[in-house]
Every structure is written in C-alpha cells, then in structure tokens.
Structure 1
Amino acid sequence: MSYVFQDWAANKGNLKGRLVMVLFRLARPASLNKFLRVIWLPYLAFYKLFVEWFMCIELPHWTQVGSGFYLGHGHALVVNGCTVIGKNCFFRHSTTLGNIRREDGSYSGSPIIGDNVELGSNVCIIGEVRVGDNVRIGAGSVVVKDIPANSIAVGNPARVIKTLTPAKQSPQPELQEQ
C-alpha cells in the first residue's frame, strides 16, 4: 500500500496532486504486465477519462516516475509516456515533456529527468534531453539541450546561469512558488 501513497507527503496541502498521483500509482502496474492490463482495462479507461480529459493532465500510466513527485497546480501538464522522471521532482502547471518529430517521420527519444528537479510553469523540455540531479529550470524555459546536475537554467533556449555546489544544495529543492 505504501507504493500507492509514495507521493502523498510530497503533495501535502495539494488535494488535486494527491488524487492524480494515487490514481497514477494504481494504474502503473498495468503497464508492467499484459495479463494485468487486460483485467485492469476498465480502470485504465477511467484513469484516461478522469485524469487526462477531465483534469487535463496527460501522465500516461506507463511513464516511469520516481517517488515523491509533486504536481504543483496540476493543470495542462503533458508528459510523453517514454519520459523518465526521477525522485522528488516538482512540476508546475503548463509543462510539456515530449519528443520531436523528425523530417523523415520518425521521433526522437524522450527526456530523462534526474532526481530533485524543479520546473517552473510553462517549461518545455523537448527531445532526447537529459536533465541532471538537483536542477531548477525557470518559468517559460525551453530546454532542447542537456542540463548538467546542480544547475539553474532559464530562457529560450534554456541556458545554465548558475552552478550550485553540491555542499550548498539541499537533498530536495525547497518547494516555493515562482
């Protein structure tokens, strides 16, 4: 049961975030087992209808999301299902993590997000991009290149404006509104 509530404490005071993450954690096992997926089909349909259509949060159940995920404001979040998200991440509203459609019709890989990453609102991370651990990305940034660990990045295209020393970086970024 602790698996289902692994994001509960991170979303304290955030009922929508708690609800979405519990529903996501309940749906996630179906992506790991074909037999369970067939049995779980009615729940997966409910998840898609309720979370994606009604609550406007595209977080496919097969997405790999680490524990302690905080869903700030929980609206207009779009995550490609092949994205990997680390532990203790904080995503604000209107954030997109996706791949790129190439001229030949193929698609690039999806973003890989490290642990303790905080994204401001309206952040777009597009393509086969790696974001290191303990990174903060400012609101409205467009990330198309890798961001090294212990960095603060802003802009369009995003660029590192500050590198944090690991000794000064807390294990989990403060959860502050921007």
Structure 2
Amino acid sequence: MIDQPEKPKLSVVAQNTQQQIETNEAQDQVNAALLELAANIIRVVRGAGKPEQILHQCSDVVNAAVEYRDAAGRLPSPATLASAILLEREVIDYNDSFWAARQIAYRRIVRGSLQVAASKLLGQRLQIDRGEDEIDESIQELEHLREEIRRKRAAEQRAMRPKISPRKRTLKPKGTKKV
C-alpha cells in the first residue's frame, strides 16, 4: 500500500448564527404569507380570487410575523414588508428603444391600474384621476410607439421595392388618323 498523506479534517463553518438562520427562515414565511394574501386580495378586487380565504391568509401573515418576532426580537420592518410584495421589475433592454419604451409604458399602466383600484375602494377621487391619467398617458405613448414602428416598417418596405422608371410617352404625329 502507498502511504498517503493524512488529509486534514474539514468542518463546516457557517457565517450565520442560529438566530440569523431562524430569522431568515421566519422572514421567508412572512414574505410567502404576505404574497399569498396580497395576490388573493388583488384577484378578489378584480372579481376573481378566493374571498373565503382572506381571513385565513390574514391569520397566516400575523402568525408568521409573530414567529419572526420570536426569532428576531422585533417585527419585520415596513420596508421589508413592502419589498416582499413589490412587483418585480423586469430588466429592460435599452438597446432596443421601442421595446424599452413599451415595457416602461406597460409598467405605468399596471401602476395606474392598481392606483385606480385602490383609490376606488377608498373613494379617493383625486387619486382615481391621477391613476387614470397615468393609464391614459401610457396608452397614448404605446399608440405613438406603434405608429412610429408602423411608419418605419412602411419606409423600409418602400425602400426595398424595385425602382421602376416611368415610361416615356410617345406622341403620335398630328394628322394621322386611326383606321
């Protein structure tokens, strides 16, 4: 047998303490419960969703927050709660200005729609108007973008058509009659 050098014994070293691990797990539970509740409420407002689950989901959020408090010694921060349900922003490819502007307009339509829905629930006329203005401006921007693309494509198609030179008209000499 060949003598192999003795291998060092490896041990796992964690950067996080047990409390940090428990806090992170509790935060994940709060986020998941809050997302379920928020998504269901939005769907119910839209006319779908499961209204019978709202109170159970509220209870899940509170229970998860209590578990977080037990692990962290405090409740989740408002910023943490907001970031849990904040809509993810897709990465915008600014190399294609049409698609970038289109994505931005779609985002603004969604934001305006959420503003209108929330404000209608509370009867806030000024906020409803602001949300509708955001939607209208975004739709106008989309229409402008589409018209711009349509014109660009039409110009490209015209440029690709073969050039046909006009025929020269030949005049018949005067005095000749058709027979």
Global fold match (TM > 0.5):
no
Structure scoring higher RCO (CA < 8 A, sep ≥ 6) equals 2
Larger Rg: 2
TM tier, smaller:
under 0.3
Instruction: Output the TM-score relative to the length of structure 2.
Output: 0.23
Instruction: Output the TM-score relative to the length of structure 1.
Output: 0.23
